[in-house]
Amino acid sequence: MDCDRIAEMMPDYLEGALSHEDASQIEEHIEQCAPCRDTLAVWNELAMLPEETPRPESRQRFEAILAAYREGRSSTKGIREPQRSLVPVWAFANRSLGLAAGLACAIVLMTGGFLAGRYTDGSDAGSRMELAAMHGELTNMRQLVVLSLLQQQSATERLQGVSWSTQETYADPQILAALLHTLRYDTSVDVRLAALDALSRHGNQPQVRAGLLDALQPQQSPLVQVAVIDLIVDLRDTQAIAELQNMQHDVKLNPAVRERAQWAIRKLS
């Protein structure tokens, strides 16, 4: 066995994931080959580096952070999240959570009924068509739930909406529009970041790429801006360069964002 083959197998050997036979082959080679033996020796020598213990003050610092957090939380208790004043771009009647929950129930019931039907009907062509139709309806229902959850007043419910949206692999333009709207206008940074994550799954859609560009400039939070820039770089969207160049020189922007824009331009060009 030559050194190249050993190089391929060595990582699994180090993890202890090789079969007994493969491991013996490596050991045989190592006995005869000084450079490979030395590589293994360095891996073993890494055990020399001591395991470190953090100082006890660390726990106290953490306790202080936690206490400050609890204090902040109790002082804001009872304050309601401000009414969202922006009208969503997609035309959709304002629905209550009750309806969203009802729709969710309906999906569960339909799935149950569908499974029951499957047992009795067998698997002939007719039932397969029925299955496809059912699946289509389910998808639509889920879209309704997502769209309605995204409009709720509580950030937790909107987050739930974003996470529901990721259950579909198919990129529905209406859902994407809703997520892009959330990315741009949601009052909570958490929800905006979650929407961005959900959108990153559909980065190949022109609608998403264009939407990301639109969301870059007016974004209030530097954190979200940096995250959007990172996604643009991940998507290798070179069309964003012009916009990033504007941002790089925009003194009104947070310095970290300008720096990230500069980094992104280097990565993309």
CB of 207 to another protein, least distance (A): 21
Which of 59, 135 has the CB closer to another protein?
59
Looking up tokens 């504007």, which residue turns up? Answer: 246
Number of H helices, E strands in the chain: 13, 0
Q: Taking the complex as a whole, how short is the minimal distance between the CB of residue 123 and another protein, in angstroms?
A: 30
- Longest C-alpha distance within the chain, in Å? 76
- Residues whose CB is less than 8 angstroms from the CB of residue 148 and which lie 6 or more positions away in sequence, other chains included: 92, 95, 99, 100, 103, 161
- Is 129 in contact with 121 (CB distance < 8 Å)? no
Q: Does residue 146 bind another protein (CB under 8 A)?
A: no
Burial 242-261 (b: 16+ CB within 10 A, else e): ebbeebbeeeebeeebbebb
Mark the segment that binds another protein (CB under 8 A) among 23-31, 60-68, 92-100, 142-150. 60-68
Token pair 């391929």 is at which residue? 8
Told to check if 38 binds another protein by CB under 8 A, we report: yes
How long is the chain? 269
Q: Round to whole Å and give the CA distance between 119 and 89.
A: 43
Q: Binding to another protein by residue 140, rule CB under 8 A?
A: no
Nearest distance from residue 128's CB to another protein, in Å?
Answer: 30
Q: Which stretch binds another protein (CB under 8 A): 26-34, 46-54, 130-138, 169-177?
A: 46-54
| CB distance 253 to 246 below 8 Å | no
- Name the segment binding another protein (CB under 8 A); options: 11-19, 82-90, 141-149, 171-179: 11-19
Q: What are phi and psi of 169, to 5 degrees?
A: -80, -25
Sign of CA dihedral 250, 252, 253, 258: positive
At its nearest, how many Å lie between another protein and the CB of residue 132?
28
Please report whether residue 61 would count as binding another protein according to CB under 8 A: yes
Q: How far is the CB of 43 from another protein (least distance, A)?
A: 6
The answer to the question of residue 241 lying near another protein (CB under 8 A) is: no
Contact flag: residue 4 with another protein (CB under 8 A): no
- Give me the 190-229 binding string for another protein, x by CB under 8 A, dash otherwise: xx-xx-xx-------------------------x--xx--
Return the amino acid letter for 11. Answer: P
Residues that bind another protein (CB under 8 A): 7-8, 10-12, 14-15, 38-39, 42-43, 45-46, 48-55, 58-59, 61-63, 65-66, 69-70, 73, 155-156, 159, 163, 188, 190-191, 193-194, 196-197, 223, 226-227, 230, 233-234, 256, 259, 263, 267
